[in-house]
Structures are given as C-alpha cells and as structure tokens.
Amino acid sequence: MSKHLQRDLDHLKDELLAMGSMVESAINKAIAALIERNVELAEEVLEGDTQINLKENQIEEECLKILALHQPVAADLRFIIVALKVNNDLERIADLATNIAERSTYLSTHENLDATLDFSKMTEDVRDMVQGSLDSLVDQDTTLAQSVLSKDDDVDSINRKMFQTLQIHMKNKPETVERAVQLLSVSRYLERIADLATNIAEDVIFMVEGELIRHHFTSHHKEES
C-alpha cells in the first residue's frame, strides 16, 4: 500500500468516526428529549441535522476520490465499500433521531398516557447497539459486532409489546389516539435505528472476514418489515 493511500484511508476513518460521534449525540439528545420532555434538546437535534447531512456528503466524496485515485483492492476496497454503506446508515439514523425529536416536542406539551411502556429499556438497548456497532467498526471487532446482532430481537420484542399495549389503550380511551400514535411512531423509529445498527455490525463482519452475512443471520430479520 502506498503512503498516500494509507494517509487517505486514515483520514476517511477519522471522518467516519466524527460522523458517528455526531449521530450518537443526536440519538442521546433525542432520547433525553423524549424521556425528560425537554423541548430545548429536541430543537438541538433538529438544528444539528444539517451538519450531519453535510458530513455525509463530504465522506461520500472522500470515498469516491480514493476509489478513483488509488483503485484499492482486497481489504482496502472492502473498507471503502463499508465506509460508504456505514456513512449512509449513520445519516439515516440521524434522520430517525430527528423524527423522534419532532415527536418529543409534541408529547412534551401533552399529558403523559396512563400506560405501561418500556421506553427506558428500549432506548438503553438501542443506544448500546449503536455504540457497539461503532466500536466494532473502530476496533474491527467481529465478536462485538455479533453481540450487536444478538440484541436486535430484544428491541423487536419491546416494539411489538408497545404496539399491543397502545392498541388496547386507544380502543379503551379513544381521546388518547393522537398521543398514542406519536408514541407508536417513536417506538418504530427506535426499532429502525436498531436495524441500522445491525446493518453496520454486519458490514464490520464483511470488512474483517470478507463474509456477507446479511439475510443469513435469521434472528434479526423482521416479520413486519
């Protein structure tokens, strides 16, 4: 590998990590806005989305430049492919965090529902999955990546229970339908973030081992997707 290629790959990795840090911050603020009913935090998420979009474009341009200038092969090529895919998944996670922030703004101005909803466990699992997927990318740790995959079923299960609980609640108390729908949306957005963290973990395994496992790890594919 030439020193110029190594320099560009190192820079790309740094940019991808910066993107990951921005997205993690957006998720944490969106979740805090939801749990704490904090409108100011929700607004910070909305305002930060533009910077994340700009970073995504910058990283994509870096990837394409490296492909054009250096024509990498083998492990280096896999890293570029994964960088492009992870970059896109991170931007989609940020969009979902924005959606959660928007729902949080509405919910913070309305009375809480009298329903048992396990958002605390769900948000904890989702944050762990995102952090684990990014750590596995940094460390090229396939064991950690596999642990992210194994958590996806837990998030799916909580999402299904949320739907069932809120469905019953809406039938019994029709006046709460709007709030319940907002909460259902939040649950679905969190479940989608978990899916995208799973995608990143799968891509890490591909990058390190050269093995495509997507559509083969059966426990993390949704019946309703």
Confidence of residue 116 (pLDDT cuts 50, 70, 90): confident
pLDDT digits (tens, 9 = 90+) for 159-187: 999 999 999 999 999 999 999 999 999 99
Q: How far apart are CA 6 and CA 13, in angstroms?
A: 10
Report whether pLDDT(118) > 80: yes
What mean pLDDT is predicted for residues 4-20?
93
Q: How far apart are CA 170 and CA 174, in angstroms?
A: 5
Nearest CA among 188, 200, 194 for reference residue 159: 188
Query: Within 10 A of 19 (CB to CB), how many other CB atoms are there?
Result: 23
Tokens of 84: 């492009």
Q: How far apart are CA 141 and CA 225, in angstroms?
A: 28
What mean pLDDT is predicted for residues 72-82?
91
Report whether pLDDT(223) > 50: no
Provide, for the chain, the percentages of residues in helix, strand and coil under a 3-state DSSP scheme, each rounded to the nearest 5. Answer: 85, 0, 15
Q: What are phi and psi of 140, to 5 degrees?
A: 50, 50
Q: How confident is the model at residue 222, as a pLDDT?
A: 44
pTM: 0.90
Q: How confident is the model at residue 213, as a pLDDT?
A: 72
Tokens of 5: 């290629």
Q: What percent of the chain has pLDDT over 70?
A: 94
Confidence of residue 114 (pLDDT cuts 50, 70, 90): confident
Q: Which residues of 34-56 are buried (b: 16+ CB within 10 A; e: fewer)?
A: beebbeebbebbbebbeebeebb
